[in-house]
């Protein structure tokens, strides 16, 4: 049975309230790029599931939590019908964090083609962009949120739209709130579109070095070469998972060919199961070894 729409809104409000309840409000200095003291060097992704992270008291670890998911308008290739507006799904799962833990609010943008078997639209209306910008920038008002992150596996035909979206979001965020994005590894290795963004649009692009599909072997070879990512905004951070071999080697700083500068990057960590204190402590110990 589907929950009534009104109850969905209540659950979402309660979930976001749980992020901010008993968390003190702070003012943080602005910064020009990702490698600053405003964000910790280890950040745990908290995706759409109940997470109790109140055991995190070490502010060297931050939390990037999924705050909402936006489904883009789509066209059904068989019927020819088109959804008129993006569908916004707020976080529905409870998230608990201790006061003072740095937070990053994450917005996941979905192509319905990847999840519902319909063809995504390559041409996206300006009004859709404006709606998405408003949804993203509203998250800067949550207490203790120090940054906004967008997670969008934009297709080649959507790069122009995504570039414009990022620039609009940056203009409407407060100067002290940095804009982070996740990035396919291919964007950081050879795709020029990120490099063409106006300087200062994003503070960092986090290369996603897990769940890489057909590109995994090529990306692994690149990582073992010790070469730095060719896009400057990709050079400050890494995205890894606790359940993949390459990620574990990166966490333990044992990947063959890994140069010293790779050991100084900010690291975002995904876990396929809810976080525990033991798992978080293990990440901290490995990264500081």
Give tens-digit pLDDT for 129-160: 899 999 999 999 998 899 999 999 999 989 99
For the domain 5-288, what is the CATH code?
3.20.20
Helices (H), the chain: 5-20, 112-116, 126-137, 159-172, 185-189, 216-224, 245-251, 277-288
Instruction: Say what the pLDDT of residue 113 is.
Output: 52
- The structural domains of the chain, with segments of one domain joined by +, span 5-288
d(Cα 109, Cα 21) in Å, to the nearest integer? 26
Q: Is the pLDDT of residue 183 over 70?
A: yes
Confidence label for 73 from pLDDT (cuts 50, 70 and 90): confident
Confidence label for 247 from pLDDT (cuts 50, 70 and 90): confident
Mean pLDDT of the chain: 80
Q: Is the pLDDT of residue 43 over 80?
A: yes
Instruction: Say what the pLDDT of residue 111 is.
Output: 84
Helices (H), 173-225: 185-189, 216-224
86 Cα distance to chain centroid: 19
Residue 168 contacts residue 127 (beta carbons within 8 Å): no
* Maximal CA-CA distance, the chain: 56
Instruction: Say what the pLDDT of residue 115 is.
Output: 41
Q: How many other β-carbons are positioned within 10 Å of the β-carbon of residue 17?
A: 11
For 116-131, give the DSSP string. HS-EEPSS--HHHHHH
Model pTM score: 0.83
d(Cα 65, Cα 139) in Å, to the nearest integer? 11
Between 115 and 163, the more confident residue is: 163
């Amino acid at each position: 049975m589907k929950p009534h729409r009104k109850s969905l809104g209540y659950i979402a409000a309660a979930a976001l309230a749980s992020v901010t309840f008993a968390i003190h409000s702070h003012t943080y200095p602005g910064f020009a790029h990702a490698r600053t003291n405003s964000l910790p060097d280890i950040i745990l992704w908290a995706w759409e599931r109940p997470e109790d992270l109140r055991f995190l008291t070490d502010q060297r670890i931050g939390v990037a939590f999924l705050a909402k998911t936006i489904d883009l308008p789509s066209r059904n290739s068989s019927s020819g019908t088109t959804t008129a507006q993006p569908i916004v799904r707020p976080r529905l799962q409870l998230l608990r964090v201790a006061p003072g833990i740095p937070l990053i609010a994450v917005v996941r943008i979905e192509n319905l083609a990847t999840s519902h078997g319909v063809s995504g639209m390559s041409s996206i209306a300006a009004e859709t962009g404006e709606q998405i910008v408003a949804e993203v920038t509203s998250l800067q008002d949550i207490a203790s949120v120090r940054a906004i992150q967008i997670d969008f596996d934009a297709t080649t035909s959507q790069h122009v739209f995504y570039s414009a979206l990022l620039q609009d979001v940056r203009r409407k965020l407060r100067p002290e709130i940095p804009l982070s994005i996740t990035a396919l590894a291919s964007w950081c290795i050879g795709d020029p579109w990120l490099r063409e963004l106006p300087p200062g649009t994003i503070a960092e692009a986090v290369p996603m070095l897990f769940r890489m599909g057909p590109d995994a072997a090529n990306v692994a070879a690149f990582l073992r070469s010790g070469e730095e990512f060719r896009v400057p905004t990709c050079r400050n951070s890494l995205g890894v998972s606790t359940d993949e071999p390459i990620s574990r080697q990166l966490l333990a700083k044992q990947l063959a060919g890994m140069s010293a500068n790779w050991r100084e990057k900010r690291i975002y960590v995904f876990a396929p199961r809810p976080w525990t204190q033991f798992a978080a402590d293990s990440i901290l110990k490995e990264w500081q070894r």
